[in-house]
A and B are shown apart, each in its own frame.
Chain A
């Protein structure tokens, strides 16, 4: 025989008996005997499938059965079986007994489709109304994010962006119309979402998020949704969220690929999930991963990924469902394939690993600009000879015999070209023999970044000395020499 020790909170189901004698050979058999005698206990110990509930822990003697053989653990005669409720808690979450959140008739009607979902209901809606969310970036991802968060009734939304609306934004940034072009994004975005939902508060920050202002802006919010398009801001948002103990709902997009994850999320058991630095300890070398402005993005992709991001924000706030913490969702639009990878905390994370070394924000522009070998860095930085579009125009008009090389991709060449010979950047070394050595050569791309790379590569590998980079690329040419040319 052995004894099951009944915890005090469950003794009301055992007529105040503190112990139960059992002859069961295993934990499962013993528990089965116990609930057979006290049927009211069953629902507190076992789930519908008859398995032990996750928040109940069982010890045989002084050992957790999860470290032995679970419910099948043998019970030697004379050993105590202890049923142990989880005892934990803490102040690190919103207080539950605070000022009640109430709704007007208009709000009840507006949110009725939320209110009738059983697991969401008015409690979920209250949490949304009480929540303060900061959206960093009001572009491609920010467009669906802001609209869905506003429509869903997030009580306060902050928007950070320093940019103005450009023609090239309208292909994907559906917050804006043609009348928005040239105006600050935050103001246009705020007006749009405020008209979508007048019951919420919107605050704008028409500024670049920097190490100097990030903590001050983020501290007033419960959660941050990162919709930025560059690594420096991404690390900045991540680090600020970890330092301030805020959840960071992250998404990014590039061409046909999207990513989503929830960082720095603390689950109900108090376990903190990974953050961006656990996933990517250091940024990629500058230029390896182009931004959307350089690499392009299919316009509907931010609509898909930003909507998933909005979904995770709402789940985290309401506690409904299982948030994407400790997991990275990858979407490949070209093949219509999605994968979810596991992300683990990295003991060497400088923010909250085993030996944290960083307790403040750093210079992220520098961090993302020097995250690779110093030597390579110097080579990248060495200036190349440049030529202005005005000089090029003179040469084209016959003042100088020269060769013009275009290192963009064929699909870009189809959009606009200025009679250069097309040799895409990835193939310049293979075509080095087609580049003239007996006269000046002008190399151009869209804006001047890739052509500078091509020149360095040709100079380093083939010893060219006659190469000139067209400053500002075909964009500058279209702007200053031939406005009839389209830009992209």
Chain B
């Protein structure tokens, strides 16, 4: 797996979204440049469209997905993946995450403990259909 790096702007957007959504799960897309290092430039929160209990589930509506692809085309950035939060759970993909995962995308998970950002990890589906962790380069705290 190639490493993936986050811009401070993208990281701040994801953290703020995840902490605001607590105790529910948040979700969103991120965009950037694919190359030797997958560079995440910006992240865009989208509505968690999961009906019912959102504390342990998220879902992104098809129309939001269409908009995300459209935004990528218009902005010249690549749609690199999906982020979501695990409230009071570690940033490790669950069975649900695995069953719904698609290849190529990076899946960034933020662990939020009692409302505060705790840690962040990134995963990608490998050839065998299992999640492999990606090396995540996070900007130093300012």
Contacts and interface: CB of A to CB of B under 8 A. Distances in A.
Contact of B105 (A8, A245, A269, A272): A8
Given A59-B62, A64-B62, A84-B65, A89 B94 contact: yes
Nearest to A90: B57
Contact of A82 (B66, B98, B104): B66
B63 interface: yes
B66 A94 contact: no
Contacts of B119: none
Interface stretch (B5-13, B37-45, B83-91, B134-142): B83-91
B59 to A, nearest CB: 4
Interface in A215-265: 245
Nearest to B89: A91
B32 interface: no
Interface residues of A, number: 35
Contacts of B69: 5, 7-8, 18, 82
A89 B104 contact: no
A217 to B, nearest CB: 22
A88 B95 CA distance: 11
Contacts of A319: 95
A5 B68 CA distance: 12
A88 B46 CA distance: 12
A92 interface: yes
B4 interface: no
Interface in B75-124: 78-80, 82, 84, 86-87, 89-90, 92-105, 107
Contacts, number: 125
A62 B90 CA distance: 36
Interface string A1-18: 000010111111000001
B19 interface: no
A93 interface: yes
Contact of A98 (B92, B99, B133): B92
Contact of A88 (B66, B78, B89, B100): B100
B80 to A, nearest CB: 8
Interface residues of B, number: 45
Contact of A84 (B27, B66, B86, B105): B66
B102 A268 contact: no
Given A5-B66, A84-B65, A87-B82, A93 B95 contact: yes
A90 B56 contact: yes
Given A5-B66, A96-B131, A270-B57, A90 B94 contact: yes
B35 interface: no
Nearest to B82: A87
B63 to A, nearest CB: 6
Contacts of B16: none
Contacts of A64: 62
B90 A88 contact: no
Contacts of A272: 52-53
A117 interface: no
A96 B56 CA distance: 15
Nearest to B123: A97
A219 to B, nearest CB: 15
Interface string A42-74: 000000000000010101001010000000000
A95 interface: yes
Contacts of A89: 57-58, 84, 93-94, 96-97, 100-101, 107
A96 B98 contact: yes
A95 B95 CA distance: 6
B118 to A, nearest CB: 13
B50 interface: yes
Given A62-B66, A97-B92, A91 B78 contact: no
A265 B98 CA distance: 18
B137 to A, nearest CB: 20
Contact of A97 (B66, B96, B100, B131): B131
A369 interface: no
Given A89-B94, A91-B89, A9 B100 contact: no
A86 interface: yes
A64 B66 CA distance: 12
Interface of A: 5, 7-12, 18, 55, 57, 59, 62, 64, 82, 84-98, 245, 268-270, 272, 319
30 contacts: A5-B69, A7-B65, A8-B72, A9-B104, A12-B104, A59-B66, A62-B66, A86-B100, A87-B102, A88-B50, A88-B57, A88-B58, A89-B57, A89-B93, A89-B94, A90-B56, A90-B84, A90-B86, A91-B25, A91-B89, A92-B57, A92-B96, A93-B95, A96-B92, A96-B93, A96-B97, A268-B96, A269-B100, A270-B59, A272-B53
Interface of B: 25, 27, 50, 52-53, 55-60, 62-63, 65-66, 69, 72-73, 78-80, 82, 84, 86-87, 89-90, 92-105, 107, 130-131, 133
Given A82-B65, A89-B96, 10 more contacts: A7-B69, A8-B79, A8-B105, A85-B102, A86-B100, A89-B107, A91-B89, A96-B92, A96-B93, A245-B56
